[in-house]
Structure 1
Amino acid sequence: MFEIQPMDAQTYRQQTRRSTLIIALIFVALAMVLSTVAVAVFGEPGGDNLRFNIGGVFAAVLVMAALMRKVFWTQDWMAPAVYSWQLKRSLMSVTNVMHHLTVAVEADDPTAMKLLRFYHLGLSQMHELDGNSSDQGQLRREMQQHEARMQALGLDPQQIRLDPAWLEAVKRTSG
């Protein structure tokens, strides 16, 4: 179950820039080392070793993918980027059932109302973290209207958790 966490946008951007730089530097160093090793082991002196250089870069991509999943993903310096990835993934799971969600919200389905509120809160945070203010006005109006509707139905508007069961329930009720 994913939960929206309070996060300062400026700090978030600073930390994600730093983690991106660390990952990029490690990748460049790894690609250079692996390309050099590939050319030294398999290449010909003075020959065309482009394929070995490309092979070294490709090997670096594979090693970086493994490092990301097995080592870096759990590091403190990666926490903001991991949180962002999880938030975007959660929002995408709601987007994927949006056609069902819209129908269920129109029918005042409580689960759908909660799911849409989570989506609004998560999307608002993602816009804030990314510094994307262009869509905030329209989203803010939709959020206020939906919050008022939830309160009229006696539903708690503080929906900071995404319960995966809500996604399945919305799919079943509208389709």
Structure 2
Amino acid sequence: MTLTDIDKVRYRRRLNHVFIGSGLALAALSLLFSQLLIALFPDPSGSHFHWNALGVLVAAAIVGMGLSHYRHHSYLTEVLYVWELKRSLNKITRKMRKIEAAAKLGNINALQALQFSYAGSRQLWLLDDNIIIMDELAVKQAELDVLAEKFNVTLDIADYEESMLSEF
């Protein structure tokens, strides 16, 4: 994955539209399917919990399939990019201890993965206005720069590939 600059305002507006639209669709479809199931299969005891639960599950599946189907629509470009960025960063985070240990030993793939992680996290946090721990990230970036200089490695986020994580 390559990092791409995106318009923060447009991203936030479209993300809100996707969340609100998904929530409204989930609520409406849940009610529709639940009421339909209750009407088709009434329970004499008056308990319709299982039909309500099934209605919510069916609605969630339909909303999920709809999002999956339209994920490459131009309206969702920024939203999809951020979802993919979060997925990529999560893959690195799951292996962070091993990556950090290898980076201290001069492993180039580990250094590249950390560079991508820090740059991606910085972009993500700026997009989401989550700048609380940005100072901590700057410290980690400075430590990474020292390691890169120590091992004479030039770090470029464009050189990062997810396949680099397979060795950790």
**Aligned partners of 1:100, 1:129: CA distance in 2, in Å?**
28
Unaligned segments of structure 1, at least 5 residues? none
Task: Give the total of aligned pairs.
Answer: 168
CA distance in 2 between partners of 1:131 and 1:161 (Å): 27
- What is the TM-score with the length of structure 1 in the denominator? 0.82
| Aligned residue number for residue 125 of structure 1 | 123
Cα distance change of structure 1 residues 94 and 50 upon mapping to structure 2, 3 Å threshold: closer
Q: Deviations over 1:11-56 (max 9, x none)?
A: 3222211111111122122112211211221126994444323322
1:59 paired to 2:62: no
Aligned pairs (5 A) from 1:96-175? 96-151=94-149, 153-160=151-158, 162-169=160-167, 171=168
Please point out which of 71, 75, 78 is paired with 1:73.
71
Summarize the Cα distance change of 1:36–1:111 in structure 2 as closer, same or farther, 3 Å threshold.
Answer: same
Ranges in structure 2 where 5+ consecutive residues have no aligned partner: none
Structure of higher RCO (CA pairs closer than 8 Å, 6+ residues apart): 1
Structure 1 residue 162: Cα displacement:
3.6
What displacement does 1:68 show? 2.5
Opposite residue 36 of structure 1, the aligned amino acid is Q
Other-structure match for 2:85: 87
Q: Aligned-pair RMSD on alpha carbons? A: 2.4
One-letter amino acid matched to 1:93: K
**Percent identity between the two aligned chains:** 21
- Return the alpha-carbon distance in structure 1 between the equivalents of residues 137 and 104 of structure 2: 18
Give the TM-score of the pair, scaled to structure 2.
0.85
